Every structure is written in structure tokens, then in C-alpha cells.
A and B are shown apart, each in its own frame.
Chain A
Amino acid sequence: GAVVSQHPSRVICKSGTSVKIECRSLDFQATTMFWYRQFPKQSLMLMATSNEGSKATYEQGVEKDKFLINHASLTLSTLTVTSAHPEDSSFYICSARERGTLRRYEQYFGPGTRLTVT
């Protein structure tokens, strides 16, 4: 149980285009999803917290107009990188918290999406 998927696993796009990454909770409902980015040999940096049916909360320094997050249902959150540039190339990872969980800090991670902007 508690499986989170991401699609696509890898994507290459040209500079200036937009790319959408999907995060799905496959066997549970997720009221909260988190989006992280990870540069090579570095740690995970939280970008934003996404709550179903409401606007995402972005961490300091993350451009909300560039990284559009939509959490339209209890099983799906999307991250759209708009007008992507080579510096946006990174590994993007989502995680999800199960609806109703009593474990305050529990989150299940997706497998990640490798974005390369050429």
C-alpha cells in the first residue's frame, strides 16, 4: 500500500517551453502533497506544499508563477514548469500524506521525474 507514482519519469524539453509533471497517490487519498527538487549529489529542497482544493504554499525563494501547482483531486497533484530554462533542469520528487492519517510527519515519496531543459 501507500504507493505514489510520477509521470513522466524522464522528460527533455526545449528552453522556453512548459512541462507538466503528475504526481498520483495510487491506493490512498492524499489531502496534502509536497513537491521537492533535488540537484545532483544534493539534498531534497522543499518547493511547495499542495493541499487539495486550495492554493499551494510556496517556500521562500520559489517562484509561484514559474512553478504552477494544481491539486485538483485527492489523488492527483501536478507541477508545471513554465518557460523552462536549463537551470530548471533537476530531479523533481513529490510526496503525499494520506487523508486522515494520525501520524503527523508521515509522507510517501514518488519515484521522481528527471527534467532536462536543452
Chain B
Amino acid sequence: GESVGLHLPTLSVQEGDNSIINCAYSNSASDYFIWYKQESGKGPQFIIDIRSNMDKRQGQRVTVLLNKTVKHLSLQIAATQPGDSAVYFCAVPVPHTNAGKSTFGDGTTLTVKP
């Protein structure tokens, strides 16, 4: 089955700096990738997604990069703010399913210091 892992369980940055959170996946057939943000005591919140036919996608202050060669994706947050403090998960839907099942990575806890 799919395994999804994150490189660092915690990340601490200074307010205003850029943050980079990394994720590795194992299934080369994976065709879609999602990043979620989970604040303490709440459910995950969709941030951004990317399809396997792309290598970069930008949103508001966030960018996702996908490297299919090494099966790696990253989430970049520009000008990190205290409100960005949360746990970030990458999720990889099970390929060729319509149920929308996803394998979630372990999560990186981002702490933003004022």
C-alpha cells in the first residue's frame, strides 16, 4: 500500500520568514496530492492540491512543488504569520478509486515565533 512520510515532525520559524514543509510518498501511480492544515482541536482544512501532470502550483502565499522523479512534494508558505501555526499534513488519495480515500502523512507541526 501507499506510505506517506514527512521529513520533519516539527518546524519553527520566525514571523515573516518563509516555511518549507516536505513530504515523500511511495506509490509512483499516485496522481493527486493534497495539503491540509489542522489547527489544535479542529478538523483538517484544505490548503492546496496538485495533479501529477503539474510540478508547481501556487495559491495565496502558498506554493506546492511536486517532484515525481523522487516522489517528493513540498509546501512553501511565504511570509509566515502566527496564524499559520498548525499541523500540516500531506495526503495522497489512493489511485484509481472513486471513494476519495487518502493516505495521510504523519504531519509537521509548524510553530511561528513572533
Contacts and interface: CB of A to CB of B under 8 A. Distances in A.
Contacts of A57: 99
Given A34-B100, A93-B44, A97-B100, A43 B106 contact: yes
B102 A105 contact: yes
Contacts of B32: 104-105
Contacts, number: 53
Interface string B59-97: 000000000000000000000000000000100010000
A16 B93 CA distance: 36
Interface string B6-44: 000000000000000000000000001010100001111
A44 B93 contact: no
B104 A112 contact: no
A49 B46 CA distance: 19
Given A42-B106, A43-B104, A43-B107, A105 B93 contact: yes
Contacts of A43: 89, 104-107
Q: Give the one of B45, B98, B100 with max A CB within 10 A.
A: B100
